[in-house]
Structure 1
Amino acid sequence: MSGRGLGKAFRCCDCAVNTSSRGISIQRRNFTSSPSWRRHGAIPAFTETSSPELNDLLSELRLKIVLPSHLSKQQKNLVYRKKFENELSTEPVIATIAEEDFQLQHIDKRKDLPNVRKSLYKAMSLMKDKKDWANLPNLLAGLNTSGANMSASKVKSMILSKILAAGRQETLLECLRRGEVTGIQLKDPDFVTRVLLTMQMRAFRADWHEHETAKALKWAEMVVELMEDPKHAGSRFLAGENDPRLQPAVIGLLLELAAVRAVKHLESRDEDGKVAEYGARLLGTLLEFKTPAEETINGLNSWLWTHAPVLHGIYEALKVLESSSAVAEGLQKKGEELDVMVSTYHEKLASLASKDGNQLMGLQVYEKLLG
Structure 2
Amino acid sequence: MAQNAVGRLFRGQSSSTLRQSIGTLTSKRSYSKNAIPSFSPTSSPELDQALIRFREELFIPFGLTTPQRKLMFRTKYADRLDEEPVSVSIGEDEEPFLLRPMDPQSRPTIKEAWDTIALMKTTKDWQNLIPFLSGLRMSHRLVKSDRWQWLMRRAGHADALGIMLECAKQPERTGLRFRNVDIVQRYFFELHRKAQQADFQDPAVSKTLGLAKQAVTLMESPEHQEHNLELDPKRRPFVVGTLLELSAARALNVFGGKDETGDVRLYAGRLLGTWGAGTFDSEAKDWVNIDRMLQENVPIYNGMKLALQVNGISNDKTIAPALKTRVNELGMLITNQKKAASENVKQQPTLGLEQSQLLHQV
TM-score, normalization by structure 2: 0.86
| Structure 2: tracts of 5 or more residues without a match | 1-16
Structure 1: gaps (5+ residues): 1-19
Query: Whole-Å Cα distance in 2 between the matches of residues 93 and 257 of structure 1?
Result: 57
Report the Cα offset of residue 337 of structure 1: 2.5
1:207 to 199, 224, 242: 199
Structure 2 counterpart of 1:65: 58
Contact 2:123 2:158 in 1 (8 A): no
Q: Which amino acid aligns with 2:108?
A: P
- Residue 164 of structure 1 and its aligned partner are, at CA, apart by 2.0
Indicate the residue corresponding to 2:264 in structure 1. 275
**Offset, 1:343:** 1.8
Structure 2: how far apart are the matches of 1:21 and 1:221? 59
Look up the equivalent residue of 1:165 and give its one-letter code.
Answer: H
1:298 to 288, 297, 305: 288
Q: Distance in 2 between matches of 1:277 and 1:22?
A: 71
Residue 14 of structure 1 corresponds to which residue in structure 2? none
1:107 correspondence with 2:97: no
- Match runs of 1:118-267 below 5 Å: 118-150=111-143, 152-233=144-225, 239-267=228-256
Provide closer, same or farther for how the CA distance between residues 357 and 271 of structure 1 changes in structure 2, counting only shifts above 3 A: farther
For 2:70, the equivalent position in structure 1 comes to 77
CA distance, structure 1, for counterparts of residue 254 and residue 317 of structure 2:
22
Aligned counterpart, 2:325: 333
Structure 2 SS opposite 1:58 = helix
Q: Which residue of 1 aligns with 2:29?
A: 30
Offset of residue 329 of structure 1: 2.8
Relative to 1, partners in 2 of residues 1:63 and 1:358: Cα closer, same or farther, differing over 3 Å?
closer
- Counterparts of 1:136 and 1:78, CA distance in 2: 30
Cα distance in 2 for residues equivalent to 1:21 and 1:272: 72
- Contact 1:186–1:232 at 8 Å: present in 2 too? yes
The total of aligned residue pairs comes to: 338
Q: Do the aligned partners of residues 279 and 97 (structure 1) sit closer, same or farther apart at CA in structure 2, a change above 3 Å counting?
A: same
The residue identity in structure 2 corresponding to 1:204 is: Q
Change (3 A) 1:326 1:366: farther
Q: CA offset at residue 21 of structure 1? A: 6.3
Q: Bigger shift: 210-219 or 66-75?
A: 66-75
- Report which of the two structures shows the higher radius of gyration computed on alpha carbons: 2
Secondary structure, counterpart of 2:97 in structure 1: strand
Give the letter aligned to residue 104 of structure 1: L
**Partner residue of 1:311 out of 286, 301, 316:** 301
- In 1, Cα distance between equivalents of 2:88 and 2:272: 58
